[in-house]
Amino acid sequence: MNGKVALVTGGSRGIGAATALRLAREGADVALTYVQDKEAAEEVVRQVTALGRRGIALRADSADAVEAAEAVGRAVDALGRLDVLVNNVGVGVLGPLESLSLADVDRVLAVNVRGVFLASQAAAARMERGGRIVTIGTCMTQRVPGPGGTLYAAGKSALIGLTKALARELGERGITANIVHPGPVDTDMNPADGPYAAAQAAMTALGRYGTAAEVASMVAYLAGGEAAYVTGAEFAVDGGHAA
């Protein structure tokens, strides 16, 4: 990926941070967005630059329609072009159906659906032939193992349709669009030593949590040249959660 530029939304921690670093190791310059943890975002940038690549952290709230789209332009202004967009940012609001408020619905759909759509729209307008759009979904679009995930699963499921439609619309320009569905992954939001970890691990065929680096490796493949004939596809990195 030498000479390529990637934008990873929500790249300050977890899967986003692992993806930003993996793409940098593959040779890409990387912009990443964050909302609250500026220090963590700047630490990822420090690691990107230590790898000999350019990096920049951009504060952008994907719940804000203007900021979600403008982050793409800011990345291009800073790094000169855009070849890869990784739609990683997302929020999870879990709970019984009757407990979910209108504010919950609006926030999840704003971040997990509208923000991804607007970032993809803006990126498509800036990408040259051979661009890549990779979106992070969830194993819960393939199998919902229990109650409490209605809103989260609904929002992430919309990204499957978005991905397939982007693949059709952008294919003639050689731009691919794919979606990766992680299973239980050891992150700050869902630690492998958390109170619900044992039950989640037991739902996988491998009986364990995945790592952010394992998800990032799939993203890196889809972002690279070897995946030029892969588009409109779903990839489960879930330890067999959907098996």
For 5, 46, 117, 121, 124, the CA distances from 127, given in Å and listed in that order, are 10, 26, 15, 10, 5
CA-CA distance, 102 to 96, in Å (whole number)?
Answer: 14
Could you give the CA distance from residue 38 to residue 74 in angstroms, rounded to a whole number?
A: 17
Count of other CB atoms within 10 angstroms of residue 184: 23
Q: How many CB atoms neighbour CB 51 within 10 A? A: 15
Active site includes 152? Answer: yes
Active-site residue, from 34, 152, 209, 221: 152
Residue 149: CB partners within 8 Å, gap ≥ 6?
A: 94, 140
Active-site amino acid positions:
152
